[in-house]
Amino acid sequence: MLQERIESGEAIIGVIGLGYVGLPIVLNFSARGFQTVGFDIDPAKVDALRNGRSYIRHIPAEEIATHVASGRFKPTTDFALVREADALIICVPTPLSKHHEPDLSYVVQTMETLQPHLRPGQILSLESTTYPGTTAEEVVPRVEARGFRVGADFFVVYSPEREDPGNAIYSTQNIPKLVGGTTPACLKMGELLYAQICQRVVAVSSTQVAEFAKLLENIYRAVNIGLVNEMKVVADRMGVDIWEIIGAAATKPFGYTPFYPGPGLGGHCIPIDPFYLTWKAREYGIHTRFIELAGEINEAMPEYVVRQVARTLNDRGLPVKGSRVLVLGLAYKSNVDDMRESPSFKLLDLLHKQGARVSYHDPYIPVISPTREHAFWTGVQSVPWDEATLKDFDCVVVATWHDTYNLEELASWAPCIVDTRNAMQGVPTNPGQVTKA
């Protein structure tokens, strides 16, 4: 019986998709003594894991090697092993199409791959962020097509991932885990499953509520970031410092939460997830104006930064065309090696299009791996961090601020800095050397 196998620790946990979300889940279940099988279609990832190597900076290779050597973690590309698992947790990408419409191809392909190998007595959990109704519309029918009765001999839940790569405070264990079940029996089994690795499991009444809640979390951030990005443009035009303004407003102990501007949105969630609800809302005749306006503002920020670069170079008697520009930081956030949806790529694209001789430096991304959206930059290497290299650039754009950067060296070596992160605040610089953007 599934419940007894989970409670006794005998259940085999299968995780599909071994990226920033799936790999931590595998390791957490393995650390609790469960046998785990990690499925991925990328042989290179599976090979790396089998040999105790990590391709995610904040997950140590030693941790992976320990779990593999113990026999509790088996990475594989063989989806026939799905039948051996008692729990199946899907952690695959849910990107947008070029028209800002949901691309559920990874979820659908995964379900079709799993379908022939499903058996009675399993629980399947979808963790990929998606629009309300996906679990009921795309997952459950494919389970029922096998002749299973969901809630009786097979269990389906939705439990959105809440991973924050590089966060030293919050991890899989201490982030409250939302779970919505297709039926009450499904919910009970989902709560039991995640209680094995999460300190707190929060049950909601349906898979749709859990799906919507995940989107609301990210829409909240996207809208507030859009607001402060718009305020940054207004403050710049008025000649006042948006960072000082935010600091002043943040002294209010109630009714205000500080958000900070940047060169655009990045990561696997905030730039993408809000549009999943926008798309679904149209089915109900609703125009989600806040979401779309915030999206327009945030997507325009790289162009705003490039205009600031052009203005700064022009003040020095230099055109963008032919100037050497260094983008500092390719990752989408500080202190991680995650470059998914990074606005730095858009800065590279825009500057290159305007004729700049553009390079990047990021200690966590020594070479740019292939991406669907920015294939042009595949194989480009990070330039060194040294005095001769930085002095050779006409302008350095601080796009992402890693703690490893020596900002005093940057101030000493770079003749011109466009700072999108307020990184240079408090660092001694020459008059006119730094432009905030």
Q: Residue 171 pLDDT more than 90?
A: no
Arithmetic mean of pLDDT, 140-153: 97
- The neighbouring-strand residues paired with 436 are 419
**Is residue 28 within 8 Å of 172, Cβ to Cβ?**
yes
Confidence of residue 389 (pLDDT cuts 50, 70, 90): very high
Question: Domain 2-205 belongs to what topology?
Answer: Rossmann fold (3.40.50)
* Predicted pLDDT of residue 99: 80
Spatial contact of 75 and 68, defined as CB atoms under 8 Å apart: yes
pLDDT band at 271 (very low <50, low <70, confident <90, very high): confident
Q: How far apart are the first and last CA of the chain?
A: 59
Q: What is the largest CA-CA distance in the chain?
A: 75
For 166, residues 6+ apart whose C-beta sits below 8 A from its C-beta are 57, 58, 333, 334, 335, 336, 338
* Residue 167: pLDDT over 90: no
Say if residues 102 and 132 touch (Cβ distance below 8 Å).
no
For 252, phi and psi rounded to 5 degrees?
-70, 125
Summarised one tens digit per residue, pLDDT across range 3-43 is 999 999 999 999 999 999 999 999 999 999 999 999 999 99
pLDDT tens digits for range 327-380 = 999 999 999 999 999 999 999 999 999 999 999 999 999 999 988 888 999 999
Per-residue confidence band for 168, with pLDDT thresholds at 50, 70 and 90: confident
pLDDT at 283: 92
Q: How do residues 364-379 score in pLDDT, each as one tens digit?
A: 999 999 888 889 999 9
Instruction: For the chain, give every domain's residue range.
Output: 2-205, 221-436
Which residue reads 């960072």 in tokens? 243
Cα–Cα nearest to 41, from 146, 113, 142, 105: 113
Q: Indicate which residue of 91, 198, 269, 395 is catalytic.
A: 269
Mean pLDDT within 189-217: 98
* Mean pLDDT taken over the chain: 96
Structure tokens at 339: 């470059």
Residue 40: per-residue pLDDT? 97
- pLDDT, one tens digit per residue, over 174-188 is 999 999 999 999 999
User: Residue with structure tokens 């101030």?
Assistant: 411
Average pLDDT over residues 188-211: 98
* Dihedral sign for Cα atoms in the order 11, 140, 137, 288: negative
| pLDDT over 90 at 267, yes or no | no
Phi first, then psi: what are they for 331, rounded to 5°? -65, 155
Is 221-436 the same fold as 2-205?
yes
pLDDT greater at residue 166 or residue 431 = 431
Residues 6+ apart with CB under 8 A from 80: 117
pLDDT of residue 373: 83
The answer to whether 412 and 391 have CB atoms below 8 angstroms apart is: no
Residue with the two structure tokens 């940054």? 232
Q: Which helix (H) or strand (E) holds 273?
A: helix 273-282
pLDDT of 268 strictly over 90:
no
Q: What is the pLDDT of residue 58?
A: 87
**329 and 399 Cβ atoms separated by less than 8 Å:** yes
Which pLDDT does position 269 carry in this prediction? 84
Give the residue from 254, 118, 236, 335 showing the smallest Cα distance to 245. Answer: 236
pLDDT at 239: 95
Q: pLDDT tens, 285-306?
A: 999 999 999 999 999 999 999 9
Q: How far is CA 338 from CA 49, 122, 162, in A?
A: 18, 33, 16
Residue 154 near residue 148 (C-beta atoms within 8 A): yes
Q: Are 376 and 397 in contact (CB under 8 A)?
A: no
| C-alpha–C-alpha distance, residues 351 and 329, integer Å | 15
The residue assigned the tokens 């825009």 is: 350
* Residue 269 annotated to the active site: yes
Number of H helices, E strands in the chain: 15, 13
CATH topology for 221-436 is: Rossmann fold (3.40.50)
Above pLDDT 90, what percent of the chain? 92
pLDDT, tens only, 79-121: 999 999 999 999 999 998 888 889 999 999 999 999 999 999 9
Q: Which H or E run includes 134?
A: helix 134-134
CA 176 from centroid of its chain's CA atoms = 18
* 3 state SS of 87: strand
Q: Any bridge partners for residue 172, and if so which?
A: none
